Amino acid sequence: RVTVETKNVIIDATGIDPKTVIDMVTIMAYNIAERSRGKKIVFVEAIMPDNTVLKAPREKGVSIEIVSSKVNEVLGTGLDIEQMIELLKKFDYKITNNQKEQLVVTVPPYRVDVKSWIDVAEDIAMAYGYDTIGSTAYDLPKATHPGRIHPLEFLSRLLRKILVGMGFIEVVNYMMSNPEIQLRIFDIEDELITVTNPKMEKYTSLRRWLVPGLLEIIDANKEKETEIKIFEIGDVAIPDKSTDTGARIERRLGIAVSHKKATLTDGLAIVSTLMERLGFIPRYEKTVIKGLLPQRTAKICIDNIEIGYIGEIHPKVLLRIEHDKPVVVSEIILNKLLMVLRQ
**pLDDT tens-digit series, residues 260-311:** 999 999 999 999 999 999 999 999 999 999 999 998 999 999 988 999 999 9
The pLDDT assigned to 327 comes to 95
Helix (H, G, I), strand (E, B) or coil at 256: strand
Q: Is a pLDDT exceeding 70 seen at residue 94?
A: yes
pLDDT in tens, 4-38: 777 888 888 888 888 888 899 989 888 888 877 77
Rounded Cα distance, 141 and 199, in Å: 42
Q: Show Cβ contacts of residue 69 under 8 Å, excluding neighbours closer than 6 positions.
A: 101
237-242: Cβ within 8 A, 24+ apart? 237/175, 237/193, 237/206, 237/207, 237/208, 238/208, 239/190, 239/191, 239/192, 239/193, 239/208
Cβ distance 268 to 207 under 8 Å? no
Tell me what the mean pLDDT of segment 228-242 comes to: 93
The pLDDT assigned to 17 comes to 85
**Bridge partners of 330?**
255, 310
Tell me what the mean pLDDT of segment 230-257 comes to: 93
Write down all domains in the chain, each with its CATH number in brackets.
Answer: 1-59 (no CATH), 63-136 (3.30.56.10), 151-342 (3.30.930.10)
Decide which of 330 and 142 is more confident.
Answer: 330
Rounded Cα distance, 49 and 43, in Å: 20
CA 214 to chain centre: 18
The pLDDT assigned to 58 comes to 87
Percent of the chain with pLDDT over 90: 54
Q: What is the number of residues in the chain? A: 343
Cβ distance 210 to 236 under 8 Å? yes
pLDDT in tens, 265-277: 999 999 999 999 9
Rounded Cα distance, 264 and 266, in Å: 5
151-157: Cβ within 8 A, 24+ apart? 151/338, 151/342, 152/251, 152/334, 152/335, 152/338, 155/334, 155/337, 155/338, 155/341, 156/233, 156/251, 156/253, 156/334
Q: Is a pLDDT exceeding 60 seen at residue 114?
A: yes
Per DSSP, helices labelled H in 45-171 are: 68-75, 81-89, 117-128, 130-136, 151-165
Rounded Cα distance, 248 and 206, in Å: 11
Residue 39 — left, alpha, or beta (φ > 0 → left; ψ -120 to 50 → alpha)?
Answer: left
H/E stretch holding 65? strand 63-67
Cβ distance 321 to 217 under 8 Å? no
Rounded Cα distance, 141 and 143, in Å: 6
Of the pLDDT bands very low, low, confident and very high (cuts 50, 70, 90), residue 66 is very high
Rounded Cα distance, 9 and 190, in Å: 54
Q: Supply the mean pLDDT for the chain.
A: 89
Range from 8-22, 94-108, 112-126 that averages highest in pLDDT: 112-126
Q: How many CB atoms lie within 10 A of CB 147?
A: 6
pLDDT in tens, 44-62: 888 888 888 888 888 888 9
Rounded Cα distance, 210 and 174, in Å: 10
3-state percent helix, strand, coil for the chain, nearest multiple of 5? 35, 25, 40
